[in-house]
Amino acid sequence: MKKIALIGMPNSGKSTFFNSISGASAKVANWSGVTVDIESVKTLIFGEIVELIDLPGIYTLKPGSDDEVVVHDFLNHNKIDEIFFILNSSQIDRQIDLALEFKNLGFKVRMLCNMNDEAKKNGIEINYQKLEKRLAIPIHPISAKFQSGYEFLNKKMQTLEKKISIKPFVENEIYQYVKFPKQSNDNVTKTLDRFFLHHFWGLPIFFVLLFGLFQAIYGIAEPLQNFMGLAFDSIGEIISLFLNQHLPKLFSSFLYDGVYLGVTTVLTFIPVIIIFFIVMSFIENSGYLSRAGFVMDKIMEKMGLDGRSFVMILFGFGCNVPALMSTKIMRSKTTRFLTMLIIPFSLCSARLQVFLFFTAIFFSPQMGALVLFFMYILSFLIIIITALIFKDKKAINESVLIEMPPYRLPTIKQTLLTAIHEINHFLKRASKFILGGVIVVWLLTNFYVSTNVTIADHMSGFLGPIFDPIGINDKLIIALIFGFIAKEILIGALAVIFSSNMDSLGDILQTEINWQQALSFMTFTLIYTPCLSTIATIKSQSKNIRLVATSLLWSLVLAWIVSFCFYQLLINFSS
């Protein structure tokens, strides 16, 4: 099977093109010579099934950042039949030289000039026929956003010349083929940038948008979540009755209390995850994330970080794992390691499940939204504190290049494809842990080490004196232990521990703990030890055991200190 590599600079629309080709069928694979995940999809191109491989975005072939090393190593260790080089048509003068580098290295290259519609709108004229003749490279103007210009994919594969060396462009030669307007026509971008990049209002605007983000999630997802909970409860009653009639009590309890209640309680949060990724993919595709990184660059610099670190923190709101993998673009080891240390404090979507559940039980809708906002603000504060404490004062920050794409209104299809892509990643990762996790929780809470003392009781009894000062009882301790495996298990673990469904679990928790304990539990959940897959990613990306140990120990100590302060303050204030 022929292999086609998809290569381009960051923000050239490479991922949009790949997603439009792959839909939801992309798979993640490890390749020879590459230590990170690379996505690929088998699809029909040029009238035959080929494997389209999506490589990281790069600025140069000189291996400086880890992303560039990945691309360099991949091309050295794998046979590639053709390269699809994607570039932004509006920046063709800055990106075309990299395509020539691949051509002159002996690769068969086809150039896809993406965002051709935007280039025309901005008054940029490209003579593709003349340029194609000059480069001896097939050139196709496309718009990945609207999937236009894809007709060449349906034609029979052309035989490309491979070993013809092309002279690079001399100074200003590119302008014989490309005409740029004397003044940019993109007045919308200029107007919006004056608003979003304002030196004073830019940061408050970002936090207002963030508040609106989880208000939307809370307002839209909660009714859907409740509906799914009621549906699972109704089905569960039928299943429970059937199991009790036909199976021994212990086995029936295992299937219903352990497997069914644990898994379905977690599944009720799927609407939250879907809505979160839809909103985030819209923001990402709109071009605003780069602006957020630019606005935060000076603030992040004081913490030994940069604007890209902030963008990765935002990615961490979805899932910490891909955010950690994105640090490969950083050339400075010091900045990269510090970024990897703070990303796990981002309030990921798995933690969001826990917070939505607890706020719905212990707070009114209005107060619940404020509590959620507080958790996000606390997440940022913990990130700032950690960065300031672990900042290397001797380190010299590297200069940062942040591409500023024009503002775009993403299409519904584009937004959904990006969201489905991320949701699939999340569910695949979560499915590795949820079933196994809730089964182990059931075993620990149903097998006894002595009379009336389960294995879980024994574990929580040992840890009780540590958690008593922060208001976390023995049953919540067990849930936290399994939260280390994956935060997605936390609510499912509670359902198994209390042998209850979604609705009754809320009633039980209200009798077990008060709102101050609930807030302390949420605070500890936000800060304490990253999940197992996050730790594994830090290890694989950094190759540094000291960084892994620091991440584990610091998060545990800080979680206890902050939860202790909040809990004792709330208890004393309430009394």
> Which pLDDT score is estimated for 555?
94
pLDDT-derived band at 398, boundaries 50, 70, 90: low
In a domain, 269, yes or no: yes
pLDDT digits (tens, 9 = 90+) for 299-342: 777 888 877 787 778 777 777 876 787 777 676 788 889 999 99
> Which pLDDT score is estimated for 478?
84
- What is the pLDDT averaged over residues 54-74? 77
Same domain, 456 and 512: yes
pLDDT at 206 over 60: yes
- What is the pLDDT averaged over residues 494-509? 77
**Calpha distance 94→98 (Å, rounded):** 9
Q: What angle do CA 279, 283, 287 make, to 5 degrees?
A: 165
Whether 306 and 397 have beta carbons less than 8 Å apart is answered as yes
Query: How many separate helices (H) and strands (E) can be counted in the chain?
Result: 25, 11
The residue among 60 and 178 whose pLDDT is bigger is 178
Same domain, 411 and 490: yes
Which of 78-92, 208-222, 226-240, 302-316 is most confident? 78-92
In a domain, 191, yes or no: no
pLDDT digits (tens, 9 = 90+) for 534-564: 887 788 778 889 999 999 999 999 999 999 9
Length of the chain: 575
The residue among 101 and 273 whose pLDDT is bigger is 101
Q: DSSP letter string over 510-554?
A: HHH--HHHHHHHHHHHHHS---HHHHHHHHHHH--HHHHHHHHHH
Residue whose structure tokens are 């059937």: 242
pLDDT at 230 over 50: yes
- What is the pLDDT averaged over residues 96-117? 90
Same domain, 524 and 439: yes
In a domain, 197, yes or no: no
Same domain, 224 and 133: no
In a domain, 192, yes or no: no
Same domain, 235 and 137: no
> Which pLDDT score is estimated for 44?
87
> Which pLDDT score is estimated for 515?
92
Cα 467 to Cα 145, 362, 480, 491, 532: the distances in Å are 51, 21, 11, 19, 22
**Calpha distance 397→403 (Å, rounded):** 18
The residue among 406 and 430 whose pLDDT is bigger is 406
Which of 137, 154, 185 is the last residue before a domain boundary? 185
Q: What share of the chain is helix, strand, coil (3-state, %, to 5)?
A: 65, 10, 25
Same domain, 242 and 163: no
pLDDT at 33 over 50: no
Comparing 122-136, 243-257, 372-386, the range with the smallest average pLDDT is 243-257
> Which pLDDT score is estimated for 385?
92
**Calpha distance 7→126 (Å, rounded):** 21
pLDDT-derived band at 401, boundaries 50, 70, 90: low
Same domain, 175 and 102: yes
- The CATH number linked to 139 is 3.40.50.300
Which of 21-35, 37-51, 312-326, 497-511 is most confident? 37-51
- 180, with CB counted inside 10 A (0-12, 13-18, 19+), is middle
pLDDT at 65 over 80: no
Whether 293 and 200 have beta carbons less than 8 Å apart is answered as no
**DSSP code for 153:** G
- What is the pLDDT averaged over residues 501-507? 73
Torsion (CA) 485, 488, 491, 496 in degrees, nearest 10: -60
What are the helix (H) ranges across 105-153?
116-121, 128-135
In a domain, 195, yes or no: no
Which of 133, 155, 185 is the last residue before a domain boundary? 185
Tell me the percentage of the chain whose pLDDT exceeds 70: 84
**Calpha distance 395→332 (Å, rounded):** 9
**Calpha distance 40→4 (Å, rounded):** 10
pLDDT at 265 over 50: yes
**Calpha distance 557→529 (Å, rounded):** 9
Whether 471 and 571 have beta carbons less than 8 Å apart is answered as yes
Same domain, 484 and 385: yes
> Which pLDDT score is estimated for 34?
42
> Which pLDDT score is estimated for 196?
78
Q: What angle do CA 11, 15, 21 make, to 5 degrees?
A: 145
**Calpha distance 62→168 (Å, rounded):** 17
Cα 399 to Cα 289, 305, 349: the distances in Å are 19, 11, 32
Q: Which residues contact 454 (CB under 8 A, 6 or more apart)?
A: 444, 445, 446, 447, 448
Comparing 22-36, 381-395, 465-479, the range with the smallest average pLDDT is 22-36
Same domain, 209 and 63: no
pLDDT at 258 over 90: no
**Calpha distance 420→414 (Å, rounded):** 10
The residue among 110 and 228 whose pLDDT is bigger is 110
Same domain, 180 and 259: no
**Calpha distance 35→539 (Å, rounded):** 12
pLDDT-derived band at 184, boundaries 50, 70, 90: low
The tally of domains found in the chain comes to 2
> Which pLDDT score is estimated for 29?
47
pLDDT at 188 over 80: no
- Identity of the amino acid at 428: K
Torsion (CA) 210, 215, 220, 225 in degrees, nearest 10: 100
Which of 30-39, 348-357, 520-529 is most confident? 520-529
In a domain, 445, yes or no: yes
The residue among 13 and 270 whose pLDDT is bigger is 13
Give the distance, in angstroms, between the CA of residue 306 and the centroid of all CA atoms in the same chain.
19
Beta strands at 82-88 and 3-8: parallel, antiparallel or unpaired: parallel
pLDDT at 37 over 80: no
pTM to 2 decimal places: 0.63
pLDDT-derived band at 426, boundaries 50, 70, 90: low
> Which pLDDT score is estimated for 432?
63
Q: Which helix (H) or strand (E) holds 465?
A: helix 455-467
- What is the pLDDT averaged over residues 61-86? 81
pLDDT-derived band at 31, boundaries 50, 70, 90: very low
Which of 158, 185, 212 is the last residue before a domain boundary? 185
Q: Which two three-digit tokens encode residue 160?
A: 């490309």
pLDDT-derived band at 35, boundaries 50, 70, 90: very low
pLDDT digits (tens, 9 = 90+) for 470-479: 999 888 888 8
pLDDT-derived band at 502, boundaries 50, 70, 90: low
Same domain, 142 and 285: no
Which of 379-394 are b and which e, b meaning 16 or more Cβ less than 10 Å from the residue's Cβ? Answer: bbebbbebbeebbeee
> Which pLDDT score is estimated for 30?
42
pLDDT at 427 over 60: yes
Which of 135-144, 277-286, 394-403 is most confident? 135-144
> Which pLDDT score is estimated for 61?
77
Rounded to the nearest integer, the mean pLDDT of the chain is 80
**DSSP code for 447:** S
Same domain, 17 and 91: yes
The residue among 455 and 424 whose pLDDT is bigger is 455
Tell me the percentage of the chain whose pLDDT exceeds 90: 18
> Which pLDDT score is estimated for 28?
47
**Calpha distance 86→377 (Å, rounded):** 38
**Calpha distance 529→302 (Å, rounded):** 26
**DSSP code for 13:** S
Q: Which residues contact 175 (CB under 8 A, 6 or more apart)?
A: 93
Cα 277 to Cα 268, 520, 529: the distances in Å are 16, 27, 24
The residue among 404 and 350 whose pLDDT is bigger is 350
pLDDT at 221 over 50: yes
Whether 65 and 330 have beta carbons less than 8 Å apart is answered as yes
In a domain, 196, yes or no: no
Note down the domain range covering 154: 3-185
Q: Angle at which helices 333-342 and 545-574 pack, to 10 degrees? A: 40
> Which pLDDT score is estimated for 434?
67
Whether 459 and 478 have beta carbons less than 8 Å apart is answered as yes
pLDDT at 392 over 80: no
**Calpha distance 234→245 (Å, rounded):** 17
